[in-house]
């Protein structure tokens, strides 16, 4: 049974059916069986793996976040393929792709777009020129270099999937996904994300350094950025939207929901964690677990999906604003290890 609502109202046809494109006969398959989602996911993951070397788990989480309709935070040192990961996902998904570089003088208007004069100002008036955020996949590099003002504007619109300028709302394209990156070590001149801001990301991944073999492949050009141009879209946007709808329909039993609640409780009871995970964290776990279940070709969530989803969904929430995500990953894994896994 569905015990939790789908992650975002945008993807719920009962609330806002308008942006959902008419489902043709091929897309019907998504509505009835999990197989197409798994196949779609396999295509995406395969494509991404062909480019990004040795990051299978990170790619799995990224694709799951995409299918869960969430936003992704990539935190790691420079040069480990954060941006490449986002770019190849955008290309493979076949949507539009914009990239924003975070700086301290970036203003909210710079990303949302603004009203500009159109032709003759007195006749045509002002028209809205969309900012870089109007794309299916938006990569925001070095999010913590932007000012808190810009950060919160970005996160607000990412949550609402709507940009409001001069009192007029503009819907972001469907599907929409924000991928933000940040660098945990170079802290001078940055504005660390507050706990509230972090909470809006469904998942966080830390790719880490590639293995020696993977590095060899990157250096010889068999993988890596040089292959990016060769990536062709493997899914259509319509398929992606249908897949998201299918993921939202994945069944979550009460036992699983209770398990997630236990996990959240474990983070709240751990003395090392200042503030435990929020309910939104639980929602994120369930959404990611649904996506993992669908990627596994199932219409129901198993505890294994929850375990896989928990660490990326909880790491940034338990680490707090001051500690690196890597610490949070350990804490989250510790909490997961302390909760008994439900079974039959």
Partner 1 sequence: MSVRLRPLGVAPGALAFVAAWIVAGLIARLTGTPVVLALMAALTVAVATDAFAGASTLRRFRVATITSPPTATAGADASMRVDLHTGTRAAGACRRDGRLRLTDAATGTPIGSEILAADARHTGTVITVRFERPGVVRALAARIDLPGPFGLVWWARTEVLEIPPIHVAPPPGESTVDQNRMTTSLDGAAPSRHGTHLGDVDGVRPWRDGDPVGAIHWTSSLRAGDLIVHDREATTDERWDVDLDALIAQADDRAQAAARLRRSLDDGLRRGHDIRVTHRGASHRVQSDEEAAKWAGIVADDPETSRPAVPFWRRPLRLTTAETTTNVPPTARWATALAAWFSLTMLIGALAGSTLFIAAVTVGLAVGAAVSLRLGDHRPRALQIAIAGVIVVALGFITADARDVTGLLDALRGPMPNLLVLLVVLHGFEVVDRRTLRVHQAITFVATAYAAGLRIDDALAWWIAGWATALVASLVLTVQRPRLAPPTTGAVGRAGLWTAGAVTATLALLSIVPIPDGPARLGLPSLSTNDTPIDTPGALAAPGGTAVPAESSGDRGRIGPTVGYPGFTDTLDTTIRGDLGDEVVMRVRAPAPAFWRGQTFSDFDGRRWTVSPDPGRRVDGPVIDVDPALGDLSAEDVPTEEFIQTYFVETDLPNVVFAAARPSRVVIDGDLWTRPDGALRSDRTLTPGSVYTVVSERPLVTAAALREQGDLAEFFAPFRGTVGAEPLEDFLAVPASTTPRTIELARQLRQATTYDTILAYERWLGENTQYELDAPIPPDGADAVDDFLFESQLGYCEQIASTLAVMLRTQGVPARLATGYIPGERDRVSGVWKVRASDAHSWVEVWFPRTGWQAFDPTAAVPLAGETPTATVGGDLIGAATSSLSSHVRELTALAAGAVAVWALGAVLVRRRTRRRRGRWGILQDRFAMLPVRADGSLDGPAPGPSDGVPVLTNPQRAAHLDPPEVAMAVAATLDRAAFDPGFVDDDETYRATHAAVATLERGRR
Applying CB under 8 A, the residues found at the interface with partner 1 are 1, 251, 253, 255-256, 269-272, 298-304, 307, 322, 334, 336-344
- Going by C-alpha positions, the residue among 285, 320, 316 that lies closest to residue 301 is 285
Nearer to partner 1 (CB atom), residue 256 or residue 291: 256
How near is the Cβ of 268 to partner 1 at its closest, in Å?
Answer: 11
Nearer to partner 1 (CB atom), residue 132 or residue 320: 320
Nearer to partner 1 (CB atom), residue 182 or residue 302: 302
CB contact set of 111 (below 8 Å; sequence gap of 6+):
100, 131, 132, 133, 140, 150, 153, 154
How near is the Cβ of 304 to partner 1 at its closest, in Å?
Answer: 4
Nearer to partner 1 (CB atom), residue 19 or residue 342: 342
Do the Cβ atoms of 112 and 165 come closer than 8 Å? yes
* 280 class by beta-carbon count within 10 Å (0-12 exposed, 13-18 middle, 19+ buried): middle
How near is the Cβ of 198 to partner 1 at its closest, in Å?
Answer: 16
Nearer to partner 1 (CB atom), residue 161 or residue 311: 311
- H-helix segments, the chain: 25-32, 35-51, 56-68, 82-93, 108-112, 121-124, 148-160, 195-199, 212-219, 237-248, 254-269, 279-295, 303-319, 325-338
Nearer to partner 1 (CB atom), residue 241 or residue 301: 301
How near is the Cβ of 337 to partner 1 at its closest, in Å?
Answer: 4
How near is the Cβ of 307 to partner 1 at its closest, in Å?
Answer: 5
Number of H helices, E strands in the chain: 14, 9
How near is the Cβ of 193 to partner 1 at its closest, in Å?
Answer: 16
Q: How far is CA 224 from CA 80, 141, 209, 255, in A?
A: 10, 18, 13, 42
């Amino acid at each position: 049974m569905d015990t939790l609502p789908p992650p975002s109202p945008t993807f719920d046809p009962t609330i806002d059916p308008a942006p959902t494109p008419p489902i043709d006969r091929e897309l019907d398959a998504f509505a009835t069986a999990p197989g197409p989602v798994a196949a779609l996911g396999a295509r995406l993951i395969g494509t991404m793996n062909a480019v990004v070397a040795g990051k299978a788990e990170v790619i799995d989480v990224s694709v799951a976040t995409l299918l869960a309709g969430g936003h992704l935070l990539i935190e790691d040192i420079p040069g480990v393929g954060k941006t490449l990961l986002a770019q190849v996902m955008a290309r493979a998904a076949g949507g539009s792709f914009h990239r924003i570089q975070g700086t301290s003088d970036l203003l909210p208007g710079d990303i949302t777009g603004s009203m500009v004069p159109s032709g003759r100002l007195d006749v045509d008036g002002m028209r809205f020129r969309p900012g870089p955020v109007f794309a299916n996949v938006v990569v925001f590099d070095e999010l913590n270099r932007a000012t808190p003002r810009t950060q919160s504007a970005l996160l607000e619109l990412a949550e609402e999937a709507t940009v409001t300028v001069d009192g007029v709302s503009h819907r972001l394209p469907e599907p929409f996904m924000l991928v933000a990156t940040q660098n945990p070590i170079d802290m001078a001149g940055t504005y660390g994300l507050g706990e509230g801001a972090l909470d809006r990301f469904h998942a966080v991944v830390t790719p880490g350094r590639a293995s020696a073999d993977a590095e060899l492949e990157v250096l010889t050009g068999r993988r890596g950025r040089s292959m990016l141009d060769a990536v062709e879209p493997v899914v259509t946007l319509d398929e992606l939207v249908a897949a998201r709808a299918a993921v939202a329909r994945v069944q979550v039993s009460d036992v699983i929901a209770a398990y997630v609640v236990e996990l959240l409780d474990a983070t709240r009871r751990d003395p090392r964690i200042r503030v435990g995970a929020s309910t939104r964290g639980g929602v994120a776990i369930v959404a990611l677990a649904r996506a993992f279940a669908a990627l596994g070709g199932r219409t129901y969530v198993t505890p294994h999906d929850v375990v896989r989803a928990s660490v990326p969904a909880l790491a940034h929430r338990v680490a707090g604003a001051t500690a690196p995500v890597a610490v949070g990953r350990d804490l989250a894994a510790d909490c997961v290890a302390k909760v008994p896994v439900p079974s039959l």
